[in-house]
């Protein structure tokens, strides 16, 4: 196990290095930079002044020198300064991470709590009216865009309750805080719950045809014990994989949802930074998302050994 963890750790570092190079190069292949955007917005073009700004920001240096400077600063914990706000990038990014983390965590909780039980019920009641209804529910979840569902939720609140839940840094009550995050979390978690439900159903149907399930029933095990203790425990590995993928996706995939509900999170801020070619913000945010993805994948691999005793990572 220690040797396997060491190999995975080295692979994670190699993956992050490749991501850093890809992020850095692709960002600079985009036409224009922050100096061009600032001058285009003001309608004033002075090549000397623009060259001075580029020199102050280090944009006139070779791309290799810019990359080495960024990585050196990053390893020292220095995220640089935002080109637009001229504030430290850490002060711009760190307050937004908890907002997106709460939204993503609540959406993932919603998808797991809804998806797994409904998937089990759909598998146990295969080819019944309940199964068909749940499969229709899952198909609707996969088909409806989260931003459209979010707009429907907002219009429904206006129609039935006469107000829209607006994000606030200091909600008045605990209920306001839950409502503020629950609605966008439900909108984005609906798709994930549908995906988890279909995977749970498919995996459960495969396991329920195995001989040990018939043996458990023959020994007089209750239906609940057969479905949850025996079948679900052995069917959960593919479901855990999907949950891990969705958890990594939610951190960077909340762009439209945060925009629709006016939530100042990481994903929405990333889009704004890309539009302004704010290189330090974009680079650090995408690297943060990359770190989340590789760490989640590592944790999922470790969770396999906990859930299935047959899996052992040899040295």
Q: Which two tokens stand for residue 83?
A: 């080109």
What's residue 57's pLDDT?
Answer: 66
Q: What is the C-alpha separation between 242 and 250, in angstroms, rounded?
A: 12
User: How far is residue 312's CA from residue 39's CA, in Å, rounded to a whole number?
Assistant: 59
Q: What is the pLDDT of residues 210-228, one digit of tens each?
A: 888 888 888 887 777 787 7
Could you give phi then psi for residue 81, rounded to 5 degrees?
Answer: -120, 145
Residue 77 and residue 44: Cα distance in Å, rounded? 36
pLDDT band at residue 35 under the 50/70/90 scheme? low
Q: CA separation (Å) from 130 to 119, 124, 127, 236?
A: 11, 10, 8, 22
At 288 the pLDDT is 86
**What is the C-alpha separation between 115 and 104, in angstroms, rounded?**
16
More confidently predicted of 42 and 276: 276
How far apart CA 51 and CA 253 sit, in angstroms, is: 36
For residue 309, the model assigns a pLDDT of 62
315 pLDDT tier (thresholds 50, 70, 90): low
Q: Rounded to two decimals, what is the model's pTM?
A: 0.79
- Confidence bin at 41 (pLDDT 50/70/90): low
How far is the C-alpha of 163 from the C-alpha of 67, rounded, in Å? 48
Q: In this structure, what token pair is assigned to residue 239? A: 């479901």
Domains of the chain: 19-78 (no CATH), 97-307 (1.10.3720.10)
Q: Is the CB of residue 181 less than 8 Å from the CB of residue 103?
A: yes
Alpha-carbon distance 309 to 199, whole Å?
22
- Find the mean pLDDT for residues 111-135: 89
Which residues 6+ apart lie within 8 Å of 133 measured at CB?
A: none
pLDDT tens-digit map of 186-197 = 888 888 888 899
Q: What is the pLDDT of residue 31?
A: 67
Provide, rounded to the nearest whole percent, the portion of the chain with pLDDT above 70.
84
Q: Residue 94 in contact with residue 83, Cβ under 8 Å?
A: no
Q: What is the pLDDT of residue 29?
A: 75
Mean pLDDT of 91-105: 86
> What mean pLDDT value characterizes the chain?
80
Listed in sequence order, the DSSP H helices in the chain are: 2-29, 34-42, 47-57, 63-75, 89-93, 97-124, 129-143, 146-161, 174-207, 211-218, 223-224, 233-252, 255-260, 266-275, 279-307
Residues 6+ positions from 255 with CB-CB distance below 8 Å? 267, 268, 270, 271
């Amino acid at each position: 196990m220690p040797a396997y963890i060491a190999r995975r750790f080295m692979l994670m570092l190699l993956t992050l290095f490749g991501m850093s190079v890809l992020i850095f190069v692709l960002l600079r292949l985009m036409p224009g930079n922050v100096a061009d955007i600032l001058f285009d917005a003001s309608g004033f073009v002075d090549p000397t002044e623009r060259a001075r700004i580029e020199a102050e920001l280090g944009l006139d240096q070779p791309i290799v020198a810019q990359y080495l400077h960024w990585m050196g600063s990053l390893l020292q914990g220095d995220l640089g300064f935002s080109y637009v706000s001229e504030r430290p990038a850490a002060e711009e990014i760190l307050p937004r991470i908890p907002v997106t983390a709460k939204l993503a965590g609540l959406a993932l909780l919603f998808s797991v709590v809804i998806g797994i039980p409904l998937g089990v019920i759909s598998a146990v009641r295969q080819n019944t009216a309940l199964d068909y209804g749940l499969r229709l529910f899952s198909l609707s979840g996969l088909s409806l865009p989260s931003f459209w569902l979010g707009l429907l939720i907002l219009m429904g609140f206006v129609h039935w309750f006469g107000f829209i839940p607006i994000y606030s840094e200091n909600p008045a009550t605990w209920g306001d805080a839950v409502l503020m995050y629950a609605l966008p979390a439900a909108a984005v978690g609906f798709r994930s719950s549908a995906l988890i439900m279909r995977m749970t159903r498919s995996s459960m149907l495969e396991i329920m045809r195995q001989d040990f399930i018939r043996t458990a029933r023959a020994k007089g095990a209750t239906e609940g014990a057969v479905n949850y203790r025996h079948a679900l425990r052995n069917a959960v590995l593919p479901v855990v994989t999907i949950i891990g993928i969705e958890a990594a996706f939610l951190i960077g995939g909340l762009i439209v949802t945060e925009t629709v509900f006016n939530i100042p999170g990481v994903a929405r801020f990333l889009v704004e930074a890309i539009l302004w070619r704010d290189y330090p913000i974009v680079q650090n945010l995408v690297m943060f998302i990359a770190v989340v993805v590789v760490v989640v994948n590592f944790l999922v691999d470790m969770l396999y050994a906990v859930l299935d005793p047959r899996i052992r990572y040899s040295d």
